[in-house]
Structure 1
Amino acid sequence: MKYKMKQKQNQQIARITESTLVVGADIAKRVHVARAVDFRGIELGKDCVFHNSQEGLTKLATWMKELGQAQGKTDIIFGIEPTGHYWFPLAAFLQNQGIQFVVVNPHHVNKTKELEDNSPTKSDYKDAKVIADLIRNGKYSEPKLPTKEYAELRILMNLREKVSDNLTQAKSRIGNWFDRFFPEYASVFKDWDGKVSLMTMRAFPMPADIVAKGARDVLAHWRTEVKRGIGIKRAEALYAAAAVSIGLTEGVVAARMELSTLLGQFDLFNEQLEAIMAKVMEILENIPGTAEMLTIPGIGVLTVAGFLAEVGDLNHYDHGQQIIRLAGLNLMENSSGIRKGQTGITKRGRSRLRAILFRAIMPMVAKNKEFQALHRYFTTRRQNPLKKKQSLIALCGKLIRVLHTLGTKQREYNALDVIGPVRQAQLQHVRVKIVMGIVHIR
C-alpha cells in the first residue's frame, strides 16, 4: 500500500490528547531549556533549565513526571529541534526512561517563531515554547536512532568519509610539494602513488639526490622490491628529468622532512581506510538482506553500507516512499491558480543519503540494463519527457524501493520484477518507435 503523508499527519495529531503533556526543549552544548503545554497550547508550570549531565537529565525527567502528575497527565511527549549533535545523549536517556522522543523541523521553528509574540526575537526560552506548539499540532517526526550493528555502521561510515577527506587532502599536499620542488616528476610517473614511485620518493626525494645516484643505482634500488615491469629506460628518464629540473633548491632539508611527513600521513590514512572497511564488511555479514541487495548489478559494498548507515533497519519502514521522504527526494509542487511552476525535490532530508544514491545511480544507468532502459524511457517518452538529471533523480527513488524490497523480503534481484509488466510494455513501445524512426531515416 502506498505510503500516505496525510494519514501519518492525522495519526500524529490524534496522538496528542487531553491526557498528554507536551514538552518542547531548546538544546545547546551545556544548558538546555524546556517548557510544557497541554493539547490546546496552554502553558503548564514553570520552565525547566537543566544541564547536559546525568544530574541535569535526571532533573528534567523528574520535572516532567511531577508536572504530569500535578496536571493529571498520564502521557508525555518530548521534542526538540535537531540542530547539531548535542541532543543524541538526551534522546538516548529519555528513550531509556520510556518517554517518547520526537523532533521538529528547524525550518518550521524558524518560520513560526513570530506567531508566539509577533516578533523576530530568538531566544532559548522562546524557542522551547515554539517547539512545544509545533508538536501539539502534529508537526513532528519520530527519529529512528540507529542501534546495535546499525549504530556501529553509521559511526564507521562517517569516520570513513572523514578519513577519505584527510587522504584527499594529503594527496593534494604531495602534489603541491612536487609543483614546488620537482615539477618534472609527473612526466616520468603519471601516478605518483604507485609502488616504484613511492620507493623513489622515500629514497631520493629531491632531483639532486637522483642526479647524485645515477640511473643505474636508482634502478638497483627499485629492483630490491620490484622485479618486473620496470627497466633502465624509466630510470634514465627520471635521471634526465631531474638533471634539468627547475624545482626550488633552497630549504631542501625542510622539504625532505615535509615530504616524509606527508607520505607518513598518506600511509596512515590508507591503513585506516582498510581497517574501517574490514570492520564494515564484518558488520554487513550480520545484517539480513545485505547479500540480496548486493546482487543488484552496479551496486557495491560502499553503496549498501552507506545506505544502511543513513537509513538504519529497513524493517522500520512500511514503504520505500518513507525512505524517499527521509532522503528529501519527494517532489515539491510550485503552482498558484493557473500558473504551473517547475516541480523539483524538497531536499528536506538527509543530504548524505541523497549523495550516496546519486553517486550510485550514475554508473547504474551505464551498467545496469534495467535502469539503463528506464533512463532511456524517461528521457525519450512522448508525454512529459524528463531531462537527464531529472531522470537520474527519479531513478534514485526507484533504487530506494528496490533496496527496500530486497532488504526486507530477502530475495535476490530480478530484472522482470524491477521493470514490471506495465513499464515493460511502455519500454517495448519506445523501442519499436526508435527502430521505426531509424528505418524511416534510412
Structure 2
Amino acid sequence: MKIHTTPAPDKARPVLLLAADVSKDTLHLFSRFESGLHQVVAQDVVANRTEAVERALRQAAALAVTHGLHGVRVICEASGGYERTLLAVARRAGHQTALVSSEQVGQLTKAESLDTGKTDRKDARVIHLAGEMGKTQRYRDLPEPYVLLRHLTAFHDDEVRATSAIRTRLQATLRDLFPDYDRPIAFTFSKTGRVLLREGLLCPHRLAKLGQTRLLAMLRRRVPGVKTITGKRLVDAAVASVRSAPPDPIAAVLSDRLAVLVAELEMHEGHAEALKVQIETLGDSLKAHGALPPIDEAVSGITLFNLARLVGQTGPLADFASKRQLLRYAGMNLRERESGQYRGQTRLSKKGRPMLRKVLGQAVFPVLRGDRLLGVRYAERRERMVEQKARVAAMRKLLVAVWGAHRSADAFDPARVHVCQSQYAVAA
C-alpha cells in the first residue's frame, strides 16, 4: 500500500463562502454555514452591476462579522466574461476569490438533488457545494502587461482571420471577372499582383486593350525587374478571356469590387502589422524585467513575437510550480480512459485555454524544420506516428521548454530540451 501525506486544509479560520451563479444581467447568490447550534442560509438575487455587487458584498462581509467568520470567499463559474465585475469588485474589497469548473458543476448538479433539473438558484447551491468540497481553481488576477498581451493577441488573430476571409472573397471575384486567369495565388498577392489589383488591370477587357508593351512599361515603373514572360502570359489570358468574360457593365461592377477588397485587405494587413509591433514591444519590456524566458531566436527558432504571445496566454510562468500544472492550464495534459481490460485511446483533455493552444500551434511550426530546435525529434516521431500526434507532442515539448528556460534563468541551451535534468548534469 502506498501512503502519501499532504498538509490538511486549515479550518481554524473559517470564512463565509459566497457562491454566485452569474448571468449577463443578474447574480444568484447563495451561502450556507453553521453558527453555534444553527445553520444559516443566505440567498439573494442582485443585478450584475458594480453598485449592486458592492452592496451585496458589504452585506456578506457584515454577515461574516456577525457570526464570527474571518472574511468572505467569493466563488463562481467562468461565464464568458460576465463574472469579471463580481471578481474585480471582490478583489478590490479585499475578499478571497476562486473559480469552479463548469464541467464539475454540471456533474455535481445531479448529485446535489438526485435530479437533472437546472435553475439559477440550484446552480448557486451546487457552486457552493463545489466550494465546500475544495473543488475550486485559483482566479488569476494578471499583471497589466499580460492582460495587454492577451487583448493584443486576440485583436491580431481577428485581423489575420479577416485577412484570410478577404483573400478568399477576392479570389472568387477574380474568377468571375477573369475566367482564364491562371497565375498562382502567390503572384496575385505579390507586389506585381497588388499593383494590377489596385489599378483595376485584372479585368480582361482593360488588360487586352492595354497590350503587352504598355502593361510591362507601367509595371516596371512600379515594380522593377518584372519579366517579359509575365506580361505576355497576362495579356494572352486576357485576350482569351474576353470571349467568355462578363459584359462590360458587369465587369465594371466586379472590377470595383476587387478594388474595395484590395483596400480592405491592405487595411487589415496594416492593422495586423501594427499589432505585431506592439506585441514585440511588450515582449522586449517583459524580457528586460526578466519575465520572458531568455531564449535566443537564432538558437531556438522561436521568434520574439511568438514567445511574447505565448507568455501572454500563460501569464507569469513563475505561477506554475510544475510542468504538469502548466500543461493542464493549456489543456495539453493527456486524458486516459481504462476500466478492467478496456483500454481507450489517450487524448488531449483540451480543458484549458483555447487561445493558448492556438498560439502554441502557430509557434511550433518554425521550430519543426530539420535544423531547428525540435526538427530532428519531430522527424523521428513522424516515422512512427501520424503527423497530428507528432505535432501535438512537439507542442507539449515546446511549452515545457519555455517553462524550463524561465525556471532555469540560465542562457538557453538546446541540449537541455531533450534530456532530463540528471542526464544533463552528468553530461556537464
Aligned equivalent of 2:141, options 141, 145, 163:
145
Q: Return the alpha-carbon distance in structure 1 between the equivalents of residues 76 and 57 of structure 2.
A: 15
Which residue of 1 is the match for residue 258 of structure 2? Answer: 259
* 1:373-431 CA-partner distances (Å, limit 9, x unpaired): 54466678xxxx86664454344333222211222443222133223378979xxxxxx
Task: Confirm or deny: 8 A CA contact 2:174 2:258 kept in the other structure.
Answer: no
Rate the CA distance shift 1:83–1:17 in 2: closer, same or farther, 3 A. farther
2:400 is the counterpart of 1:401: yes
2:27 is the counterpart of 1:32: yes
Query: What's the secondary structure of 1:403's corresponding residue?
Result: helix
Which residue of 2 is the match for residue 156 of structure 1? Answer: 152
* C-alpha displacement of 1:276: 0.3
Query: What's the secondary structure of 1:293's corresponding residue?
Result: coil
Task: Confirm or deny: 8 A CA contact 1:219 1:235 kept in the other structure.
Answer: yes
Task: Confirm or deny: 8 A CA contact 2:17 2:128 kept in the other structure.
Answer: yes
Write the letter of the residue equivalent to 2:132. R
**Which residues in structure 2 correspond to 1:365-380 (within 5 Å)?**
365-367=368-370, 371-375=374-378
* 1:351-376 CA-partner distances (Å, limit 9, x unpaired): 22223333434443433566345446
* C-alpha displacement of 1:211: 1.9
* C-alpha displacement of 1:291: 6.2
Which residue of 2 is the match for residue 92 of structure 1? Answer: 88
Q: Return the alpha-carbon distance in structure 2 between the equivalents of residues 211 and 323 of structure 1.
A: 60
* C-alpha displacement of 1:138: 0.7
2:214 is the counterpart of 1:213: no
Q: Return the alpha-carbon distance in structure 1 between the equivalents of residues 128 and 285 of structure 2.
A: 40
Task: Confirm or deny: 8 A CA contact 1:370 1:419 kept in the other structure.
Answer: no
Which residue of 2 is the match for residue 411 of structure 1? Answer: 410
Aligned equivalent of 1:179, options 175, 189, 201:
175
Task: Confirm or deny: 8 A CA contact 1:298 1:367 kept in the other structure.
Answer: no
**Which residues in structure 2 correspond to 1:97-108 (within 5 Å)?**
97-108=93-104
Aligned equivalent of 1:117, options 113, 116, 124:
113
Structure 1 stretches of 5 or more lacking a match? Answer: 1-5, 426-442
Segment drifting more, 191-200 vs 361-370: 361-370
Task: Confirm or deny: 8 A CA contact 2:370 2:376 kept in the other structure.
Answer: no
Rate the CA distance shift 1:217–1:27 in 2: closer, same or farther, 3 A. same
Task: Confirm or deny: 8 A CA contact 1:45 1:67 kept in the other structure.
Answer: no
2:276 is the counterpart of 1:277: yes
Query: What's the secondary structure of 2:419's corresponding residue?
Result: helix
Task: Confirm or deny: 8 A CA contact 2:33 2:41 kept in the other structure.
Answer: no
Q: Return the alpha-carbon distance in structure 2 between the equivalents of residues 108 and 188 of structure 1.
A: 51
Which residue of 2 is the match for residue 44 of structure 1? Answer: 40
Rate the CA distance shift 1:389–1:185 in 2: closer, same or farther, 3 A. closer
Q: Return the alpha-carbon distance in structure 1 between the equivalents of residues 203 and 172 of structure 2.
A: 14
Which residue of 1 is the match for residue 16 of structure 2? Answer: 21
* C-alpha displacement of 1:201: 1.5
Query: What's the secondary structure of 1:83's corresponding residue?
Result: coil
Write the letter of the residue equivalent to 1:248. P
Query: What's the secondary structure of 1:221's corresponding residue?
Result: helix
Q: Return the alpha-carbon distance in structure 2 between the equivalents of residues 411 and 268 of structure 1.
A: 42
* C-alpha displacement of 1:272: 0.2
Query: What's the secondary structure of 2:302's corresponding residue?
Result: coil
Task: Confirm or deny: 8 A CA contact 1:78 1:102 kept in the other structure.
Answer: yes
* C-alpha displacement of 1:251: 2.3
Size of the aligned set, in residue pairs, is 412
**Which residues in structure 2 correspond to 1:298-309 (within 5 Å)?**
298-309=301-312
Rate the CA distance shift 1:378–1:71 in 2: closer, same or farther, 3 A. farther
Q: Return the alpha-carbon distance in structure 2 between the equivalents of residues 46 and 205 of structure 1.
A: 71
* C-alpha displacement of 1:263: 1.0
Query: What's the secondary structure of 1:101's corresponding residue?
Result: strand
Rate the CA distance shift 1:369–1:188 in 2: closer, same or farther, 3 A. closer
Write the letter of the residue equivalent to 1:303. N
* CA RMSD of superposed structures (Å): 2.9
Task: Confirm or deny: 8 A CA contact 1:186 1:192 kept in the other structure.
Answer: no
Task: Confirm or deny: 8 A CA contact 2:293 2:405 kept in the other structure.
Answer: no
Rate the CA distance shift 1:88–1:70 in 2: closer, same or farther, 3 A. same
Query: What's the secondary structure of 1:199's corresponding residue?
Result: helix
* C-alpha displacement of 1:315: 1.6
* 1:312-339 CA-partner distances (Å, limit 9, x unpaired): 1112222222111101222222222343
Task: Confirm or deny: 8 A CA contact 2:337 2:346 kept in the other structure.
Answer: yes
Task: Confirm or deny: 8 A CA contact 1:216 1:232 kept in the other structure.
Answer: no
Task: Confirm or deny: 8 A CA contact 1:185 1:238 kept in the other structure.
Answer: yes
Which residue of 2 is the match for residue 240 of structure 1? Answer: 236
**Which residues in structure 2 correspond to 1:326-341 (within 5 Å)?**
326-341=329-344
Write the letter of the residue equivalent to 1:299. I
Write the letter of the residue equivalent to 1:215. Q
Task: Confirm or deny: 8 A CA contact 1:160 1:273 kept in the other structure.
Answer: yes
Q: Return the alpha-carbon distance in structure 1 between the equivalents of residues 237 and 184 of structure 2.
A: 8
Write the letter of the residue equivalent to 2:85. P
Rate the CA distance shift 1:354–1:16 in 2: closer, same or farther, 3 A. farther
Write the letter of the residue equivalent to 1:332. R
Q: Return the alpha-carbon distance in structure 2 between the equivalents of residues 148 and 14 of structure 1.
A: 32
Task: Confirm or deny: 8 A CA contact 2:65 2:71 kept in the other structure.
Answer: no
Segment drifting more, 294-303 vs 240-249: 294-303
**Which residues in structure 2 correspond to 1:69-80 (within 5 Å)?**
69-80=65-76
* C-alpha displacement of 1:174: 0.3
Query: What's the secondary structure of 2:55's corresponding residue?
Result: helix
Which structure has the higher relative contact order (CA within 8 Å, separation 6+)? 1
Rate the CA distance shift 1:272–1:282 in 2: closer, same or farther, 3 A. same
* 1:108-132 CA-partner distances (Å, limit 9, x unpaired): 1111112232221111111111111
Task: Confirm or deny: 8 A CA contact 1:39 1:136 kept in the other structure.
Answer: no
TM-score, with structure 1 as normaliser: 0.84
TM-score, with structure 2 as normaliser: 0.87
